[in-house]
């Protein structure tokens, strides 16, 4: 149901406010370049700096503007289970295709706590759930055994795996039939070689066509082409994380003339040294 190249959308900001026109144009840019799906209001979208009203409005805009042209997987995460429930209910109300829900951050639940968090949400909102494991951000990792246990709940259908561990992916897929999506651009092809079905990508904000072609080559078992594209994109995969995401990707889109590049505190602009490194790679890859 959920596979291919899916973009973790940035949220354009102008003078401290969300730039809704630029947001719609960015969605159009993604769709025009063949992307299979979008994720509004995730980590890359700076959801942690949004009010609930802003968050829900951007989810609604994404669904309305996409109009069924691609899957819309709504970021619906909070470290408060009741708050996450409200976001999941909103995603259901606006007829999103699925929700992406991260392991609760900061409070560091046990594996039983993680299970109960996701079970509580999934049993109350009838919408497909994609779990999101990103321990570098949240301070906790969901164990493969917990993923397999959660997969028994019918509407928990996928996991965005951003632990950086191929062993984690192998263990998950050895235990259950859940759809795995890469959460690390540079590991997308290695993950797909062992059974992942695509990526929720940061880099596709900038080069949606390239990421889409690589992922679809792998899905079509054209591994030579997929490997060639992986190496063509590899420098972009790495440079987009030279500073905290989404700082480099928003800077890239600013250099492309798509958005202002503005961020909300506590994030701030790139260092001049790293911005020069980013510019060099973008020029080499003919992005700017």
Residue 123, C-beta contacts closer than 8 angstroms, at least 6 positions apart: 153
Catalytic, out of 56, 71, 160, 250 = 160
Q: Is 234 one of the annotated active-site residues of the chain?
A: no
Query: How many Cα atoms within 13 Å fall on the side-chain side of residue 7?
Result: 32
The CA-based angle 66-43-115, given to 5 degrees, is 100
Contact between 154 and 126 under an 8 Å Cβ cutoff? The reply is no
Contact yes or no for 149/172 (Cβ under 8 A): no
Per-residue DSSP letter, 205: G
Residue in 132, 197, 250, 254 annotated catalytic: 132
Active site residue 132: yes
Degrees, nearest 5: CA angle 129-100-63 = 100
Q: Which among 78, 10, 2 is positioned nearest to 246, based on CA atoms?
A: 10
Mind telling me the catalytic residues? 132, 160
């Amino acid at each position: 149901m959920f596979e291919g190249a899916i973009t973790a959308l940035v949220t354009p900001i102008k003078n401290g406010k969300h730039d809704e026109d630029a947001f719609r144009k960015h969605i159009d840019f993604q769709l025009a370049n063949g992307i299979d799906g979008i994720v509004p209001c995730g980590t890359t979208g700076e959801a942690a700096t949004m009010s609930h009203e802003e968050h829900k409005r951007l989810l609604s805009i994404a669904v309305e503007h996409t109009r069924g042209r691609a899957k819309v997987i709504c970021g619906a995460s909070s470290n408060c289970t009741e708050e996450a429930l409200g976001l999941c209910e909103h995603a259901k109300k606006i007829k999103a295709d699925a929700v992406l829900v991260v392991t609760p951050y900061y409070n560091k639940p046990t594996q039983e706590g993680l299970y109960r968090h996701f079970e509580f949400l999934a049993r109350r909102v009838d919408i497909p759930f994609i779990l999101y494991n990103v321990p570098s951000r949240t301070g906790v990792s969901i164990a493969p055994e917990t993923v397999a246990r959660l997969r028994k709940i019918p509407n928990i259908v996928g996991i965005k795996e951003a632990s950086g561990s191929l062993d984690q992916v192998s263990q998950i897929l050895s235990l259950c039939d859940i759809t795995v999506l890469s959460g690390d651009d540079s590991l997308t092809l290695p993950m797909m070689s062992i059974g992942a079905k695509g990526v929720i990508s940061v880099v596709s904000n900038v080069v949606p066509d390239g990421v889409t072609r690589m992922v679809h080559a792998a899905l079509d078992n054209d591994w030579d082409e997929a490997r060639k594209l992986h190496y063509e994109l590899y420098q972009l995969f790495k440079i987009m994380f030279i500073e905290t995401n989404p700082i480099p990707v928003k800077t890239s889109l600013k250099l492309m003339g798509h958005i202002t590049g503005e961020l909300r505190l506590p994030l701030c602009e790139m260092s001049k040294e790293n911005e020069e490194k980013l510019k060099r790679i973008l020029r080499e890859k003919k992005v700017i």
